Structure 1
Amino acid sequence: MTGPGPLVVVGDVLLDRDVRGVVDRLAPDAPVPVVDVTADLARPGGAGLAAAVAARTGCDVVLVTALGTDEASDTVREALRGRVRLVELPLDGTLPVKTRVLAGSGPLVRIDRGGGTVGPVPPDVPDVLAGASAVLVADYGRGTADALRPLLADAARHAPVVWDPHPRGGPPVRGARLVTPNAAEAAALSPGDGHALAEHARRGAELAERWNAVSVVVTLGDRGALLTRPKSPAPMLVPVPYPATGDPCGAGDCFAALAAVAFAQGALPEEAVQRAVAGAAAFVAAGGASDPDLWRGRGRSRPLPPVAADAFALARSVRAAGGTVVATGGCFDLLHAGHVGLLDSARRIGDCLVVCVNSDASLRRLKGPGRPLTPLEDRIKVLAALGSVDAVVPFEEDMPLTLLDALRPDVWVKGGDYSAEALPEAGLLRRWGGQTVVLPYLDGRSTTSLADRAARAAAGARRAP
């Protein structure tokens, strides 16, 4: 059962270095590129990155990890100071350092050095884990998770445990709420033929049963994530909300961190995976672990908005980051293919999508007696579950003009065959430099036509002998 305690991240911290440069010639003594260095950046990796991502949501985070007396360990301490609380195990040796040399669109080479042995567990660690609202194990196979394995097994009995495995690490403890291997890791652990979704689903279910885990999610990169359970023939595929092009380094750490934050807030596995997929896509699109905003400043940044977050806080945070706020509105009484297509297209226009939805009284005035068919609370829940929707906010008027004046989106989207400039919202949007656009709507799809068709079918069934 979750409580008010912190999210506890347990695992191996690394120091990640990115040496960026420009290549425009080969070396005279060998056919290898010469990199003229333009930037040399160091940041926490592994469990350190996961803890930083989790803390960025506003969650209270404690990181239990092994650090030494070397320069790399000191660099990690300084980078995490003011972001997370550190509980240190001694490290006999040096912290692992992974250096990527990047030029153009990707890395040229990676250089690994360092490593050490994890020492004894400090006496305060059991109390830290006992008070956790959730536990994330970022296991990079370097000894921290193994040193705490009995304590982690106890923690799984009272708090959700998210386990991010590694080929060099051990299996998750029994009862882990969610295990997060990527497709390659799952294939190595459960060999089989092909990379079809059915094969990923088989691997996930087999691993969940082998590990006695509540669920296993196989992350599939730009295809999303596949949530599986032991012996379950019906996995849930969560697609990415939009194509995210960028540096994928650290996306797995981000996914596991955001899933753990969701569990700490009381989410179910399905909800946690949806939030993690959306957050990981945004993370990659922003530049991944090398995004300077991730490490800029001290302390916690503004919390990342969950699905169905407060629309106004979401709009402020997106605008503060230089993004585009998109909004659309309607009744959404019976969600159908026309709605879904419109929302998907609207989300691709900007960096977030706020859906303004008519209240029950507003809808009844517009559509007449017998409406709504679906009450407002259910309509909000259904809309918020869509991967394209970032926030939902209801309004009481016939048109959301007051709401739009407070929200001030950059783009207002309507579906239909009328002129954007003829819409009453267009003049309002112009006051703050916003734009009204019309997107094509699927012909023959409407709530009214669906309701009429259902009524005719029901009447025909009653007349049938």
Structure 2
Amino acid sequence: MKVTVVGDLLLDVDINGTSTRLSPDAPVPVVDVAGVRRRAGGAGLVATLLMRDGHEVTLVTAVSDDDGASHLRRALSGVELLAGAPLAPTPTKTRVRIGSHPMVRFDEGCSPAPSPDCTQEMRAAIESAEVVVVADYGRGITFNPDIRAALAGAARRVPVVWDPHPSGSQPVAGVAVVTPNNAEAQALAKAAGLDPAGKDVPESGRQLLKLWGSNAVLVTRGEAGAVLVQAGGSVSVPAPRTAVDDPCGAGDRLAGSLAVYLGLGLGLPEAATRAVADASAFLAEGGAASLILDTDAMEEQKDAAPGPASVVELFGNQPNRPDGVRLAEEVRAKGGTVVATGGCFDLLHAGHARTLAAAREMGDCLIVCLNSDQSVRRLKGVHRPIVSEEDRAELLLALSCVDAVVVFDEDTPEDCLELVRPDIWVKGGDYQPDELPEARLLAGWGGQCVTVPFHPARSTSGLAEALAKVG
């Protein structure tokens, strides 16, 4: 999907460490720094998350020309960056953590700034988008009259999701939904001279709905979920129970997911429910702090010992379905059933083909979660795989029953499954479905595990031994 993100770019810096003593100068902990991670924040985080989901993303923003901006440009590799006149300094939020516990945050250059220029390319990116996300962090980008005019025009054609800020501008009329959190809704209502009636979320949402002229207001409430307010009334959107260490990035994940679901044609209540679930899942995985998006940090991670990693490459079987994640979204949006299975699939044989064909019969698409070469090597030994991941993926996609292949680098498919979120997970074997380690994970979004019969005397190891004898 072609998504344009409009908003203010921030640099987020995470300083992580341990503490075992107090400072002799003052009764404060001494933090032994273990690592520093820099990542794109604000509109940059929204754009990055959407890019990782497989969408074509353009970011309309303002970028400075200082050292912070160089980190942002590296972190945003893969996102088309269209920026107005440079603004200095780069707004930076630095968080210090001991373990997973936040200790302090320093904000630099985060006050409102003059509105940047708007180029023709920036306006064209808004005008050509399939969906638009506005991530207003109060730095001035949404005050530009040309950008506002382009956003107003986009709101008449495509879904526009506007994530507001108390120091930002008022959303343009006609946007699909505005997504303040509860505190922002109260502050925005008071700033407009309205009476938000204490902490009555539906009432503040109704007043803001009228003030902004939007189609809906989705007031988020953290672990309590959200309240969706439309002209016909309000409805609560519950959030899945999630253990949260740091809520940073939840609003960005929600706004991006909400825009995509609306762009896929889902109704607003269903889109809001899924977006809240996505935000909860994002926090359960560690939220923004779990992302390593700066290329310097990526190099550090590459040299580190193997550990949990994200999907490394995506393959699709059809031109209009560039990857398995997007295919899953499209099938679900149409009410279809997403089926997935996984494995190494080294030396494809008849047992594989029968399992894959049986899995495809269970739903409307089949996505194969494929172990990468490094993953296979760790699981099977230094002499495996026999066939490279690129060739294994190509062979699988040559089968009519396989619609997409997602290659993952970790030892188990859990992170991959979190991205694809299949309705049915299929494994070959003679064990009970509820005994599968993935069963609890799938139950979290209402999915189920299914097993298909194991075909004896058909295995990659047996085939490899037979080929060795022939050689």
TM-score normalised according to structure 1 size: 0.66
Residue 442 (structure 2) aligns with: 352
Residue 302 of structure 1 and its aligned partner are, at CA, apart by: 5.6
Pair 1:46-2:42 in alignment: yes
Residue 349 of structure 1 and its aligned partner are, at CA, apart by: 6.5
Residue 95 (structure 2) aligns with: 100
Contact residue 4 and residue 57 of structure 2 kept, 8 A: yes
Residue 120 (structure 1) aligns with: 117
Provide the C-alpha distance between the structure 2 equivalents of 1:210 and 1:97, rounded to a whole number of angstroms: 32
Contact residue 136 and residue 142 of structure 2 kept, 8 A: yes
CA 1:105–1:389 in structure 2 vs 1: closer, same or farther (change >3 Å)?
A: closer
Residue 169 (structure 2) aligns with: 170
Provide the C-alpha distance between the structure 2 equivalents of 1:123 and 1:290, rounded to a whole number of angstroms: 35
Provide the C-alpha distance between the structure 1 equivalents of 2:46 and 2:187, rounded to a whole number of angstroms: 23
Provide the C-alpha distance between the structure 2 equivalents of 1:57 and 1:323, rounded to a whole number of angstroms: 13
Residue 310 (structure 1) aligns with: 338
Residue 348 of structure 1 and its aligned partner are, at CA, apart by: 11
CA 1:6–1:192 in structure 2 vs 1: closer, same or farther (change >3 Å)?
A: same
Contact residue 181 and residue 219 of structure 2 kept, 8 A: yes
Provide the C-alpha distance between the structure 2 equivalents of 1:120 and 1:183, rounded to a whole number of angstroms: 32
Which one of 130, 134, 147 corresponds to residue 133 of structure 1?
Answer: 130
Which one of 108, 111, 121 corresponds to residue 106 of structure 2?
Answer: 111
Provide the C-alpha distance between the structure 1 equivalents of 2:368 and 2:239, rounded to a whole number of angstroms: 21
Residue 55 of structure 1 and its aligned partner are, at CA, apart by: 1.6
CA 1:299–1:85 in structure 2 vs 1: closer, same or farther (change >3 Å)?
A: farther
Alignment of 1:414-433 (within 5 A): none
Residue 326 of structure 1 and its aligned partner are, at CA, apart by: 10
For the pair shown, the structure with the greater C-alpha radius of gyration is: 1
Contact residue 310 and residue 391 of structure 1 kept, 8 A: no
Residue 85 (structure 1) aligns with: 80
Contact residue 324 and residue 367 of structure 2 kept, 8 A: no
Residue 21 of structure 1 and its aligned partner are, at CA, apart by: 1.2
Provide the C-alpha distance between the structure 2 equivalents of 1:98 and 1:59, rounded to a whole number of angstroms: 27
Residue 458 (structure 1) aligns with: none
Provide the C-alpha distance between the structure 1 equivalents of 2:107 and 2:324, rounded to a whole number of angstroms: 34
Provide the C-alpha distance between the structure 2 equivalents of 1:192 and 1:119, rounded to a whole number of angstroms: 33
Indicate the SS of the match to 1:350.
helix
Contact residue 15 and residue 95 of structure 2 kept, 8 A: yes
Provide the C-alpha distance between the structure 2 equivalents of 1:299 and 1:146, rounded to a whole number of angstroms: 38
Residue 345 (structure 2) aligns with: none
Spell out, residue by residue over 1:434-461, the C-alpha distance to the aligned partner (whole angstroms, 9 max, x if none). Answer: xxxxxxxxxxxxxxxxxxxxxxxxxxxx
Pair 1:202-2:203 in alignment: yes
Pair 1:58-2:54 in alignment: yes
CA 1:138–1:327 in structure 2 vs 1: closer, same or farther (change >3 Å)?
A: closer
When the two chains are superposed, the root-mean-square deviation of aligned CA atoms in Å is 3.3
Alignment of 1:248-267 (within 5 A): 248-267=247-266
Residue 85 of structure 1 and its aligned partner are, at CA, apart by: 1.2
Contact residue 414 and residue 438 of structure 2 kept, 8 A: no
Indicate the SS of the match to 2:246.
coil
Residue 92 of structure 1 and its aligned partner are, at CA, apart by: 3.0
Alignment gaps of 5+ in structure 2: 190-194, 299-309, 315-322, 341-365, 370-405, 407-411, 426-435, 457-471
Contact residue 200 and residue 218 of structure 1 kept, 8 A: yes
Residue 229 of structure 1 and its aligned partner are, at CA, apart by: 1.0
Residue 223 (structure 2) aligns with: 222
Residue 350 of structure 1 and its aligned partner are, at CA, apart by: 2.3
Which one of 126, 140, 148 corresponds to residue 143 of structure 1?
Answer: 140
Residue 276 of structure 1 and its aligned partner are, at CA, apart by: 0.7
Spell out, residue by residue over 1:35-72, the C-alpha distance to the aligned partner (whole angstroms, 9 max, x if none). Answer: 11111100000000001111222221111110121111
Residue 193 of structure 1 and its aligned partner are, at CA, apart by: 4.8
CA 1:294–1:114 in structure 2 vs 1: closer, same or farther (change >3 Å)?
A: closer
Residue 323 of structure 1 and its aligned partner are, at CA, apart by: 6.7
Residue 238 (structure 1) aligns with: 237
Provide the C-alpha distance between the structure 2 equivalents of 1:93 and 1:267, rounded to a whole number of angstroms: 40
Provide the C-alpha distance between the structure 1 equivalents of 2:170 and 2:148, rounded to a whole number of angstroms: 10
Contact residue 22 and residue 36 of structure 1 kept, 8 A: yes
CA 1:107–1:309 in structure 2 vs 1: closer, same or farther (change >3 Å)?
A: farther
Which one of 391, 415, 419 corresponds to residue 321 of structure 1?
Answer: 415
Contact residue 174 and residue 215 of structure 2 kept, 8 A: yes
Residue 155 (structure 1) aligns with: 154
Which one of 44, 47, 66 corresponds to residue 70 of structure 1?
Answer: 66
Contact residue 424 and residue 447 of structure 2 kept, 8 A: no
Residue 291 of structure 1 and its aligned partner are, at CA, apart by: 1.5
> Aligned AA for 2:134?
V
> Aligned AA for 1:107?
P
Deviates more, 1:244-253 or 1:94-103: 244-253
CA 1:104–1:223 in structure 2 vs 1: closer, same or farther (change >3 Å)?
A: same
Residue 183 (structure 1) aligns with: 182
Indicate the SS of the match to 1:136.
strand
Contact residue 91 and residue 118 of structure 1 kept, 8 A: no
Indicate the SS of the match to 1:21.
strand
CA 1:271–1:81 in structure 2 vs 1: closer, same or farther (change >3 Å)?
A: same
Which one of 24, 31, 37 corresponds to residue 28 of structure 1?
Answer: 24
Contact residue 23 and residue 34 of structure 1 kept, 8 A: yes
> Aligned AA for 2:339?
A
Spell out, residue by residue over 1:333-378, the C-alpha distance to the aligned partner (whole angstroms, 9 max, x if none). Answer: xxxxxxxxxxxxx99962223xxxxxxxxxxxxxxxxxxxxxxxxx
Aligned residues: 341
Alignment of 1:384-399 (within 5 A): 389-391=445-447
The percentage of counterpart residues that share the same residue type is 38
Indicate the SS of the match to 1:218.
strand
Contact residue 62 and residue 84 of structure 2 kept, 8 A: yes
CA 1:36–1:49 in structure 2 vs 1: closer, same or farther (change >3 Å)?
A: same
> Aligned AA for 2:154?
A
Residue 452 (structure 2) aligns with: 405
Alignment of 1:4-15 (within 5 A): 6-15=2-11
Residue 192 (structure 2) aligns with: none
Residue 314 of structure 1 and its aligned partner are, at CA, apart by: 7.0
Contact residue 246 and residue 287 of structure 1 kept, 8 A: yes
Provide the C-alpha distance between the structure 1 equivalents of 2:114 and 2:437, rounded to a whole number of angstroms: 48
> Aligned AA for 1:289?
A
CA 1:221–1:44 in structure 2 vs 1: closer, same or farther (change >3 Å)?
A: same
Indicate the SS of the match to 2:202.
helix
Contact residue 215 and residue 230 of structure 2 kept, 8 A: yes
Provide the C-alpha distance between the structure 2 equivalents of 1:168 and 1:262, rounded to a whole number of angstroms: 28
> Aligned AA for 2:131?
A
Residue 273 (structure 1) aligns with: 272
Indicate the SS of the match to 1:78.
helix
Residue 395 (structure 1) aligns with: none
Residue 451 (structure 1) aligns with: none
TM-score normalised according to structure 2 size: 0.65
Spell out, residue by residue over 1:149-194, the C-alpha distance to the aligned partner (whole angstroms, 9 max, x if none). Answer: 1221122111111000001101110001010000111122235455
Residue 454 (structure 1) aligns with: none
Provide the C-alpha distance between the structure 2 equivalents of 1:310 and 1:130, rounded to a whole number of angstroms: 33
